[in-house]
Structure formats: structure tokens, C-alpha cells
Structure 1
Amino acid sequence: MNFPEDFLHYVWQFRSFDFNDLQTTRGENLKIINPGLLNKNSGPDFFHAKIEMGNTTWAGNVEIHLKSSDWLKHNHQVNPAYENVILHVVYQHDAEITRMDGTILPVLELKSRISKDLISKYENLFLTLTDFPCIAQIGRVDELIVDSFLSRTLIERFEQKTNAVTETLNELNGNWDETFYRFMARNFGFKINALPFELFAKAVPQHIYARHKNNPHQIEALVFGAAGFLNDHFEEEYPLKLKAEFQFLQKKYNLTPVDVSLWKFMRMRPQNFPTIRLAQFAALIVKANHLFSKIMEIKNVVELRTLFENLPVSDYWKTHYHFKKVASSVNIQIGKTSVDNILLNTVALFLFTYGKHTATQYFISRAIKLLESLPAEQNAITSKYTEAGVKMTNAFASQGILQLKKHYCDEKKCLSCGIGIKILKQA
């Protein structure tokens, strides 16, 4: 018996056992009319079941254990919540159980009714040491089954991400523009510098930029100054002017710069240096202040991309990766992959969250459509599933895969996974 109780939940729920000539352990004829609804909270495992014992039809709950004696180990004998259990389903019957009123609890033993082949299939999934349990079988599962479950995991992923957005939105008293600005800034950090970007965005609220929207130099000064990069000695004209401008703005708005030591440069391509990302972020603010309002109006993915293309980045960064460090030639525009990353992780997320928050299906549908328009992400996780035979044609599928890996495969929740259940059912 090398399986958990969850396996028996699956066996009972899908009737994956020999249910011909069923009898209780006390010899009563048994017929399952309805196995009930799986309960994932406290209380009996299945609610609203319906069975026939002898000539009587019973409606109530079903409790499932590996052994009958587990009822006692779990102290169900003193819990009134289990008094309406009409059948105790176990793998091995090793003890008679009585209810609180003294009546004997009917038991169905499954030990001789579950095929060894099914148990073997489950063990092959659950005990695998590969990158994910069904790596050898998933490529043979019907695409409709896979796509259907990935749709579910994608929605799960975005609903979980929505919680973080809602938390910040509440903190900012329902200010969608400011909330979007903070998440956009964090996205510009692309994981490695996400935290300092977030701290920098908190240091300079978006409404301050609006007062200087016609002065790109002042916006650049606010960005690099608040990020902590202007607390140095310079000789070049561009950083000297930024520093002088920020000293004035810092006093005017009482700004506290981020500790410059938080920014990471090691093991990064120069075009991904935080200084280049900050220059691009400043240019984005110059080009389109109050981005959230604009994004809510744009429906076409091509038009959305144009917001992040041809940014008016200062010419200084064409020959610099960092202040005081000259380079021969620098690509100062955001690459297509990075733009897609922003559209996926910030724009689509906010469309989805706004739709959920306002109960407006229109914006949720726009978020889904945007994901379907973006290419699938290519990383160490998605590549493993692609190699195993899963087809990922867009970001909708790849986001679903990331959720599948983290919350189902890594946690060995094969019996809660539509793909895992299908594999177990296959002959």
C-alpha cells in the first residue's frame, strides 16, 4: 500500500474499482447511486452521497480512510460532524467502528477491488524522480484535455496574482493609475532588479511626474536621482545637469533616494543594466504619462506594443551603459521580448484584475485575448513540457504551464490535475 488517502478519493469519485456485487464487510448488499461531492475542507470527505443497502436507500456523507482504525486515530468517534456518515470506505478493514449513538458504521473494503494496474500507474506518477510526474505520458494525452486544464491553471494563476494587485490598490485608496505605475516599474526590473525598481516607484509617486510632463530633463533627473545614481561626482555635462536638477527637486518634494547598492549589475547583459532600464522607464513616462488610462482604451496588441517602442531615450545612453562608463554603441530601445514580457506580466494582469474588481467580463476577455496574441514564453520550465510533447502556441498556454508546474507537478497533486486523472483512466 504505497499511496495516500487522496488516491482513494480519486478511486471513489470516479468509481475506478470493481463495483460488481458490492457488499459491506458485514455482508449487506450495496449499490452506489451517487458517490457524492468531494469536500476539500473540514468534515467528511464526500457530501450528499446516495447509496442503497439491502432494501433501504440512504442519503448522507461518505468518509474515506486507508484503514478503518483511522476513524479512531482522527477522533471522528467524538465529532458530531461525522454522525451523518452513511458509509465508511476503506482500503483495509481492520476495526469495527460505531457511531456516537452506538450503531455500527457500514464499511466498504476496496482492497480486492482496485486493480494492480491502476495502483502501478499512480505509483509511476507519484514516485517519479523526473522533472514532473507525467513527463513520459503527457505527450500522449489528448490536446483538448491538456488545453482545457491549462485554461483552468491560467485562470488560477491570474486570480492569485490579482490578490497582490488588490492589496496594493487598497493601500493606495483605489488609485488604479498609481497601482499600475508601481507594478510597471517592478516589471522593468525583470526579476533581478524588481525590488529596487519597486522601491524607486514608491519614492517618486506618479503625480509628481505629471507636474513636469513637458520637461523630459526634469523627469530623467527625478528617475535617476530617486534611484540613487546621482549621489556621485561627475565630469560629463549630462549627469552634472541631472544632479543639479535633482538637488532642487529633491528638496521641493522631500524625496528619499533608494540605496544605490540595491541595484544589481553582475552577470547581466549590458543592455539589461538597471541604468539602461531606468533611462527607458523615464522615456516611457515622457512619452505616455498615466499609462493605465491609455492601456484601458487600446484594444489591439500591435497598438499596445507601440507604447513601448521608439521611446525618446536620451542620446547620452547611446554611448553609455552606466554613468562615467563610455561604450561604442548601445541599443537604447526595449527589445521585443521585453515588451512582450511587460504586456504579459503587467498589462494583461491589470486588464484581468480590473475586470474582476469591477465584475466586467469585457476586460477579462481582453486580458485573455492579449495572452492568446503573445508568443509562448521560452524558459527552462516551458522547454521541459515542450520536449515532452505539449504544444504551446501562445502565452496563455505557457502561463498555464507555469502554474501547472508550481502548484500541481511540484506538489504531486496528480489526483487534482485533469491531465493526471486522464492518464490514470487511460487503458
Structure 2
Amino acid sequence: MKEDFLHYLWQFKKFDLLNLHTTKGEKIEILNSGQYLQQAGPDFFNAQLIIGTQKWAGNVEIHLKSSDWYVHNHERDAAYENVVLHVVWEHDTEIFRKDNTEIPVLQLKDYTDKNLVDSYRSLTAPKTWIYCEKELATVNSFVFANWKERLFFERLERKSLPILELAKETSNDWEAVLFCFLAKNFGLNTNGEIFYKIARSIPFSVIRKEGFEAENLEALFMGRAGVLKGDKEDVYYKDLQARYNYLFTKYRFEEVYINELQFFKLRPDNFPTIRLSQLAQLYHLHQNLFSKIIEADSLKSIHDILRIQAGDYWQTHYQFDKESTRKRKTLSSSFIDLLVINTVIPFKFAYNKYVGKESDEEMITLLQEIAPEKNAVIDKFRYYKVPVESAYDSQSLLQLRNEYCAYKKCMQCALGLELIKS
């Protein structure tokens, strides 16, 4: 048993309220169970209780055993001096404040329905993947739908935080912020952090000035990535190298250490050279990309903006000095969908939050038009009969798995609470 189950019992009063007594036999009446703030200090703040004939206002601390009070060194912490009731599953020792007054104790196991305890233990018994794997498909569809929406916006909130932080750092230069996060996601998981560092090393004012020549942007990106060092016979390589050296001097760039770009185990179309060229073409073709993305109100309009291809040289190359069969290196629909999921929607959400605009329905509608991601987590949910019809579903379920199931937060999950009730 975990303390979060006891928090659930106390918060929602899931025990016999009519016959409560302390371990010393004093009657307890709960007027207000307090605020469950989930922060440092006692578990529930500003509770109101009648113990015996005395009315109390103060905090409630919850433990599996009374002795946990001393295990956690609460007797040394002034934040716990205002605890008026110690709620435990099992009472094994008396607890005293600094002034030697005893803290009343409620032993919850004496007042909790056995069937509820059995439901909790059944839910949290060891499973092959997550606790509720076999019961997931039985959860009320209305409860599941509401919880998915909450999970989706929790995930968006988390994704929007670094965007808002960078906006603050750049004095709200939203074009620059978009550039950095698009660059990161052009690099995918393998080169994403490197691409982000490259983007951060180039003032966006330079992108604005040089964007009229795609080769200058490509030279900037390749040069900052460190792939234009050394000698090659390739004419295009030499041209980019000369352009970068000129731009480096013109804008007085500082040297930046960038980890070596990774090609290993990547499909050729995902090679960093191809993605950097495509990124350069995107900012060459769209001088006001931020405005266009914000104003785009449909998945098709976003695809139309982002459907670009690498420069001419890269139609017959994947790396410098290595010619290949001609192939148009256009951003695929599936790659654009990834950009929408991981960049465009979090960015729109963050910007709308910044300007105070409501955009919840727009975010959901956009993702419901996109096919769900394919990964091991989503495959598992499907295996346990959970419908996954769009990226809206898959994003919600990834939040569920990563932020709740992985940490066994069943008592903070609407699905866990519903299963225990049923």
C-alpha cells in the first residue's frame, strides 16, 4: 500500500464518517478535510475538525504508520507544528509535538471498507506492463474521454514551458523562438539537441538578412554544424565553405563547439545534411514564417507551408563528395505531421497562452486529423484494447504512460480512481 491511497481516502472521505474516533477514543467530526496541495509540508492544509468537544483548525499529515513521523524527521520541522490530526493506516507509536503535547491519531484501517481495499490491492498487484492493463478497456468511455482531454493539455502545458522560457529570454522574438524549436525537431531525436544548439548560435537577425539567398542560409547552418571544416574536391562544398567564412567574419561569430552530427542508423532522407538544407529552404521561401504558422487554421494550410524540398545539390547527394541517384528530397507528409505534433501545436498553444487567446478546440481539431504515432507505448495500449485513432489519442496516452503509469500514480489518475470505485 502507498500513501497516495490514504490521501485518496481522506480527500474523498471514502470511509465510515459516522463513527470516527482517535486511537484514544475521542470522537472525530470532519467539517473540512483541508486542501490537498501536494507540496512541501503537511499533506492537507487548513482542515477543520471537531475532536472530542474541541474544534480545531490546522493541518493533517498522513502516513502508512505513525512511526513514519519520526522516520521523516517531522519532529524537527516547524512546518508540522500545526498538525492537528495524524491520519495513518496503522498506529504503532505515539507522536508528540515539540512542547510534548500528543497529536491525535486516526487509524484509517478501522473505518475503511474491505472491498475498497481489495479493489486497490487488485489494481496495484504486479502486472506485465502497467497496473490497470487488463481493466483499461472496461473504463467508462465518458470518463476516459474527459481524462484524455486533461492529459492532452497537461502534455501541451509541459511542451510549452521551454517555448515560453525562450520567448522571455529573447524579449518575445517569436520568429527566433520558432526557428529554434523547428530546428530541434528537424533534427529528430538523434540530432535534435545539436540542431537546437546550432539555431541558438545564430542570431535570428542574421537569418532575416541572409534569408534571400538559400545558399547563404545553408552555409550558415552547415558551417555552424562543423561540417565545412577541412578540404574536399566538391565544388558546392567549396562554395558553401567560402560563403560561411565570409559570413563568419561579417557577423563576427564566435566559435561554437557542436557535437559531431550523427548519420549512423538514420535513413538517408533523415541525414542531417538533408534536414539542414530543407530547413534553409524553408526560411528562404518564407520570410515571415511565424505569422504564417500562427494564421494557419487547418492541417492542409500548415502542410502547404512546410512542404519544401532540399536544395538542388542535394537532389543527387546525401553527403558531400558522394553522388547518388537523383531523388527529390521533399519533406514527407509523415515528417510534416511530426513537426505539427512536436513544434507547431505546442508553439501555437504557447503563443496563444502568451496573448491570452483561447485555442483549446483548435489544438484538438488539428491533432484529430493526424494519424497516431507509431511506437512501442502506443502498440501496448492497442494490445490492451484501447482505441487509438488519431495523434490526439496517442499524445494523451503518452502523457498517461510517462507521467502517471510510470510513477504508479493510480490515485491521481481518473482511470485508477474509476477502477477502484467499480
Residues 221/28 of structure 1: CA separation in 2 closer, same or farther (3 Å cut): closer
Provide the C-alpha distance between the structure 2 equivalents of 1:212 and 1:104, rounded to a whole number of angstroms.
74
Q: Report if the CA contact (8 A) 1:353-1:364 is conserved.
A: no
Aligned position for 1:321: 318
* Number of residues of Structure 1 aligned to a counterpart in Structure 2: 422
% identical equivalent positions: 38
* Contact 1:200–1:257 under 8 Å retained in 2: no
1:9 to 1:279, Cα distance in 2 relative to 1, 3 A: same
Gaps of 5+ in 2: none
Which residue does the alignment assign to 2:203? 205
Q: Equivalences for 1:6-405 in 2 at 5 Å?
A: 6-19=4-17, 21-53=19-51, 58-74=56-72, 76=74, 81-82=79-80, 84-98=82-96, 104-255=102-253, 262-309=260-307, 311=308, 313-358=310-355, 360-363=356-359, 366-405=362-401
* Cα separation, partners in 2 of 1:257 and 1:127, compared to 1, 3 Å: farther
SS at match of 2:60: strand
1:306-348 Cα distance to aligned partner (Å, 9 max, x none) = 1111x25323222211112122243400111110111121111
SS in 1 for 2:109: coil
Decide which moves more: 88-97 or 130-139: 88-97
Query: Could you tell me the TM-score, scaled by structure 2's length?
Result: 0.89
Tell me which moved more, 39-48 or 335-344: 39-48
**Structure 1: unaligned runs, 5 residues or longer:** none
Following TM superposition, by how much is the alpha carbon of 1:266 offset from its aligned partner in structure 2, in angstroms? 0.6
Give TM-score scaled by structure 1 length.
0.88
What whole-Å deviation, never above 9, does each CA across 1:21-65 have from its counterpart, x for those lacking one? 333333344444443332322333223434455566555433322
- Would you say the 8 A contact 1:271–1:330 is kept in 2? no
Name the SS for the 1:374 alignment partner.
Answer: coil
1:172 to partner: Cα distance:
2.2
User: What SS class does the counterpart of residue 111 from structure 1 fall into?
Assistant: helix
Seen in structure 2, the aligned counterparts of structure 1 residues 105 and 137 have a Cα distance that, compared at 3 Å, is: same
| Residue of structure 2 in register with 1:423 after alignment | 419
d(CA) in 2 for partners of 1:371 and 1:324? 41
Cα deviation, residue 261, structure 1: 6.2
User: What is the letter of the counterpart of residue 286 of structure 2?
Assistant: A
What amino acid is aligned across from residue 406 of structure 2 in structure 1?
D
CA gap 1:230/1:386 in 2 versus in 1, 3 angstroms: same
Distance, in Å, in 1 between the alignment partners of 2:340 and 2:120 is 39
Q: CA deviation at 1:79?
A: 5.5
1:102 deviates by 6.0
Tell me the amino acid that sits aligned with residue 388 of structure 2: M
Match of 1:408 in 2: 404
Residue 382 of structure 1 deviates from its aligned partner by: 1.8
Question: Is the alpha carbon distance of 1:213 and 1:91 closer, same or farther for their aligned partners in structure 2, counting shifts above 3 Å?
Answer: closer
**Given that residues 185 and 197 in structure 1 are in contact (C-alpha distance below 8 angstroms), is that contact kept between their aligned partners in structure 2?**
yes
Deviation of 1:385 (Å):
1.6
